[in-house]
């Protein structure tokens, strides 16, 4: 087995003049680390000060051939400890917050001084030292942090209310630092040691005390600090040659109301108490947002029990990661050939951010998951799903967007307009971050062919309109030649429609090869607009509205014409090789669609499937592509018109 070493690393250990801290210092130094041995030199109750403890440890390290310096500052002035590391070694890679004191008293007898000293050394000291180190870790894209909690903090202990509060506070501090530091390769974990030390020498029985050697715990801490360890945000308990992971769990609980109109009563709580406290199948959550989303799920169960025909809302939860936003950026042509694109492709970049158009993807995912497609909102109409077309897209960023997280999305059909030849369905998808803030608003306009004449309003007020392009020549134009693999790459962002990858299906649609996703063309267009007018700064993006006109073949060149009007940029995208517009803000009201038999033209697409096979398709028993290959589903003409069939069927479509 390869030896794990810390050559070239600088390790700061607080409270390293004796006990666990000293053992940590000796081990790190023996593995090649340069060590800062911090110790105020006071007693275990926080009294006094001396340089001897730290000096003795440094001397021992040097005798053993290691490199170390002493630091005598209080952890409450943690920035001074980190400065010692920088002054002597020029950097810091690892911080072990180990310093601690005891002032044990029964709860009624704890004085303000007893409370404040414990909080200062354990909690505030770890905060101050870590905060200074965190800034340095972030700049260098690497750091490892250890917080020292206690079984008293996790489980409680008589006479240690002040100590227990501080130690559990360190768990919360560690959890948050782990979350905020993850994208910068900063890991933060808690060690829960049970070891023989000056803090426990007259508390633990002698025979047990002799077996609780710090040497049994130090390797666990060292591994958590090694670059090969991926653990982050964990609590590791260790002692006497044993180690195990601890975490909080929560029961599945019980619903205390069956529908939205019910009240919660004391009696209802009593009735369900055994379910509330039943820990069988209990769950662990890695983030507070996950726990909150668990409640959102419970709310949905209550909502399901509410009988109201006017409820058009649908709440779904969509998770996304840094990998997702990077994969999307690659899918819309971000490249290392453009220096400004690095921020969209490298998670450790100081300005790492998501392209704004990525946030159309979670909205579409939410719609696919939704029980409410909007089609059932048209009274008296039976609509074939292949006749539902995605025509327009609006996106607005309302807050600072994270590069990973969880979005709670509310899907709502805001109006259904009767256009005679069809119905225009306007769907809003509002996305909320983990703190409950509205951060993204999407709006999709879809047209249901043949679903008009149901007596509804013809003109609405909810649809965000496109702005007509200026009549003057473009102020700027940029081009991007799409790759032959562009659609194959983009589909990994969530749109797996085989039209974009399967040559056989593309040929049936009259295309020489699989076509590019319209939203991919939109993402490319917006990326070029940001490059031209915003220095590729995604934070300057506010909103967009686009209308899809024609498909694009991978390998074709997209040219984006742009016009600047103050802070607004109007754009139109066309294929350079054919001069065909594919994304436009032009008014297309002159286009006509007829209900019933085609007038003076042939149908663009015809789908043929038996009733029984359609039921199997909708209920998931039959795969659409399998049905096509077996001849159960026949497709003729331009299957662009049927591309929504698969996703809608996957979203629990109502037949």
Q: Map 606-621 to HEC letters.
A: EEECCHHHHHHHHCCC
> To which H or E segment does residue 405 belong?
strand 405-418
Least confident of 30-39, 166-175, 304-313: 304-313
H-run or E-run covering 189: strand 186-193
Q: What is the pLDDT of residue 454?
A: 77
**190 confidence band (pLDDT: 50, 70, 90):** very high
- Share of residues in the chain with pLDDT > 90 (%): 55
The CA dihedral of 639, 642, 643, 647, to the nearest 10 degrees, is -150
Contact in structure between 10 and 33 (CB atoms under 8 Å): yes
**Is 584 or 74 the better-scoring residue by pLDDT?**
74
Residue 603 pLDDT > 60, yes or no?
A: no
pLDDT (average), residues 19-38: 97
Note the pTM of the prediction, 2 decimals.
0.50
Phi-psi region of 157 (alpha: psi -120 to 50; beta: other; left: phi over 0): beta
pLDDT of residue 56 exceeding 80, the answer is yes
The region of weakest confidence among 195-199, 395-399, 559-563 is: 195-199
More confident: 567 or 421: 567
Residue 93 has pLDDT above 90, yes or no: yes
What is the pLDDT at residue 437?
A: 87
Q: Over the stretch 132-187, which tens digit does the pLDDT of each residue have?
A: 999 999 999 999 999 999 999 999 999 999 999 999 999 999 999 999 999 999 99
Contact 538, 353 (CB under 8 A): yes
The answer, yes or no, to whether residue 519 has pLDDT greater than 60, is yes
446 falls in which pLDDT band (50, 70, 90)? confident
HSE, CB side, 13 Å, CA atoms: give it for residue 388.
Answer: 21
For the cut 80, the answer to whether the pLDDT of residue 414 exceeds it is yes
Report residue 435: phi and psi, to 5°: -95, 5
HSE, side-chain direction, 13 A CA sphere, residue 361 = 27
- Return the structure tokens found at 285: 């959550």
Q: Say if residue 59's pLDDT is above 70.
A: yes
What's residue 299's pLDDT?
A: 58
Instruction: Kindly give the pairing relationship between strand 143-148 and strand 94-97.
Output: parallel
- For range 415-430, the mean pLDDT: 86
407: helix, strand or coil:
strand
* % of the chain residues with pLDDT over 70: 79
Alpha-carbon torsion (534, 537, 543, 549), positive or negative: positive
The answer to whether residue 524 scores a pLDDT higher than 80 is: yes
> Poorest-confidence range of 219-223, 274-278, 496-500?
496-500
Q: What pLDDT score does 308 carry?
A: 34
Higher pLDDT, 593 or 207: 207
Instruction: Residue count of the chain, please give it.
Output: 655
What pLDDT is attached to residue 639?
46
Per-residue model confidence (pLDDT) at position 288: 65
**Residue 63, SS3?**
helix
Low-confidence winner among 259-268, 306-315, 415-424, 586-595 (lowest mean pLDDT):
586-595
Integer Cα distance of 524 and 582 in angstroms: 12
Task: Catalogue all structural domains in the chain, each as residue range(s) with its CATH number.
Answer: 10-246 (3.40.50.720), 249-311 (1.10.287.4290), 313-597 (3.10.129.10)
In tens, the pLDDT along 224-283 reads 999 999 999 999 999 888 999 998 888 888 888 776 667 889 988 998 899 899 988 787
Mean pLDDT comparison of 10-14, 46-50, 157-161, 454-458, highest-scoring range: 10-14
pLDDT at 45 over 50: yes
- How many angstroms separate the CA atoms of 48 and 56, rounded? 17
pLDDT(440) > 90: yes
pLDDT of residue 18: 93
Q: What is the mean pLDDT of residues 208-226?
A: 88
Q: Is the pLDDT of residue 588 over 50?
A: no
What average pLDDT does the chain have? 83
Q: Among 51-55, 108-112, 309-313, name the one with the lowest average pLDDT.
A: 309-313
Lowest mean pLDDT among 5-14, 270-279, 304-313, 378-387: 304-313
Angle between helices 322-331 and 518-533 (to 10 degrees): 90
The confidence score (pLDDT) of residue 20 equals 95
Q: Look at residue 549 and tell me whether its pLDDT is greater than 60.
A: yes
Q: One of 24, 72, 142, 163 is an active-site residue; which one?
A: 163
Q: Which two tokens stand for residue 497?
A: 């429609």
d(CA 558, CA 479): 5
Is it the case that residue 508 has pLDDT exceeding 70?
no
Predicted confidence (pLDDT) at residue 443 exceeds the cutoff of 50: yes
Is residue 446 a contact partner of residue 422, using CB atoms and an 8 Å limit?
A: no
Beta strands 422-432 and 438-449, pairing class: antiparallel
Q: What is the mean pLDDT of residues 354-360?
A: 95
- Does the annotation count 163 as an active-site position? yes
User: Can you tell me the distance from the alpha carbon of 605 to that of 617, in angstroms, rounded to the nearest whole number?
Assistant: 19
Least confident interval from 45-59, 424-438, 635-649: 635-649
pLDDT value, residue 306: 43
């Amino acid at each position: 087995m390869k030896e794990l070493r810390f050559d070239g690393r600088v390790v700061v250990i607080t409270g390293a003049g004796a006990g666990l801290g000293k053992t940590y210092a000796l081990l790190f130094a023996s593995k090649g680390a340069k060590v800062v041995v911090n110790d105020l030199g006071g007693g275990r109750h926080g009294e006094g000060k001396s340089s001897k403890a730290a000096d003795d440890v440094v001397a021992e390290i040097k005798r053993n051939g290691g490199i170390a310096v002493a630091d005598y500052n209080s952890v409450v002035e943690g920035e001074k400890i980190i400065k010692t590391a920088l002054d002597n070694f020029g950097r810091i890679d690892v911080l072990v917050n180990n310093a601690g004191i005891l002032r044990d008293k029964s709860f009624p007898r704890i004085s303000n001084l007893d409370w404040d000293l414990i909080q200062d050394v354990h909690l505030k000291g770890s905060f101050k030292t870590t905060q200074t180190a965190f800034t340095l870790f972030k700049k260098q894209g690497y750091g490892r942090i250890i917080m020292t909690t206690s079984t008293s903090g996790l489980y409680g202990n008589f006479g240690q209310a002040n100590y227990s509060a501080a130690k559990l506070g360190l768990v919360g501090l560690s959890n948050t630092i782990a979350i905020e530091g993850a994208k910068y390769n900063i890991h933060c974990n808690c060690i829960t040691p049970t070891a023989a030390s000056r803090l426990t020498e007259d508390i633990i029985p002698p025979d047990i005390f002799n077996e609780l050697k710090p040497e049994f715990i130090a390797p666990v801490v060292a591994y958590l600090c090694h670059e090969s360890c991926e653990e982050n945000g964990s609590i590791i308990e260790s002692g006497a040659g044993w180690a195990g992971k601890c975490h909080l769990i929560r029961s599945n609980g019980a619903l205390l109301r069956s529908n939205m109109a019910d009240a919660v009563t004391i009696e209802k709580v009593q009735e369900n108490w055994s379910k509330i406290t039943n820990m069988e199948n209990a769950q662990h959550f890695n983030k507070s947002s996950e726990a909150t989303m668990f409640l959102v799920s419970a709310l949905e169960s209550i909502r399901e029990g509410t009988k109201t025909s006017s409820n058009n809302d649908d709440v779904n939860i969509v998770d996304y990661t840094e990998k997702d936003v990077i994969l999307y950026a690659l899918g819309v042509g971000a490249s290392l050939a453009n220096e400004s694109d690095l921020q969209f492709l490298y998670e450790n970049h100081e300005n790492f951010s998501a392209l704004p158009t990525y946030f159309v993807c979670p909205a579409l995912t939410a719609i696919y998951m939704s029980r409410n497609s909007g089609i059932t909102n048209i009274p008296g109409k039976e609509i074939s799903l292949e006749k539902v077309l995605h025509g327009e897209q609006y996106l607005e960023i309302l807050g600072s967007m994270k590069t990973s997280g969880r979005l709670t999305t509310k899907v709502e059909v805001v109006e259904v307009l009767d256009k005679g030849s069809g119905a225009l369905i306007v769907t809003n998808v509002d996305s909320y971050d983990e703190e409950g803030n509205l951060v993204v608003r999407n709006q999709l306009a879809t047209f249901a062919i043949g679903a008009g004449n149901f007596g509804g309003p013809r003109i609405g007020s909810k649809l965000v309109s496109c702005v007509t392009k200026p009549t003057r020549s473009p102020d700027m134009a940029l081009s991007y030649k799409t790759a032959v693999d562009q659609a194959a790459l983009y589909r990994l962002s969530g749109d797996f429609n085989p039209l974009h990858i399967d040559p056989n299906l593309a040929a049936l649609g009259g295309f020489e090869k699989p076509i590019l996703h319209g939203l991919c063309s939109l993402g490319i267009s917006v990326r070029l607009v940001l490059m031209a007018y915003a220095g590729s700064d995604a934070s300057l993006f506010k909103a967009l509205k686009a209308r899809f006109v024609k498909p694009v073949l991978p390998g074709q060149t997209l040219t984006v014409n742009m016009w600047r009007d103050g802070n607004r940029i109007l754009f139109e995208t066309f294929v350079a090789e054919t001069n065909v517009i594919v994304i436009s803000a032009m008014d297309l009201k002159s286009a006509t669609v007829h209900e019933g038999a085609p007038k003076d033209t042939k149908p663009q697409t015809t789908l043929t499937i038996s009733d029984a096979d359609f039921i199997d398709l909708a209920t998931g028993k039959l795969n659409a592509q399998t049905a096509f290959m077996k001849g159960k589903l026949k497709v003729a003409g331009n299957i662009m018109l049927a591309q929504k069939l698969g996703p809608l069927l996957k979203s629990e479509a109502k037949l």
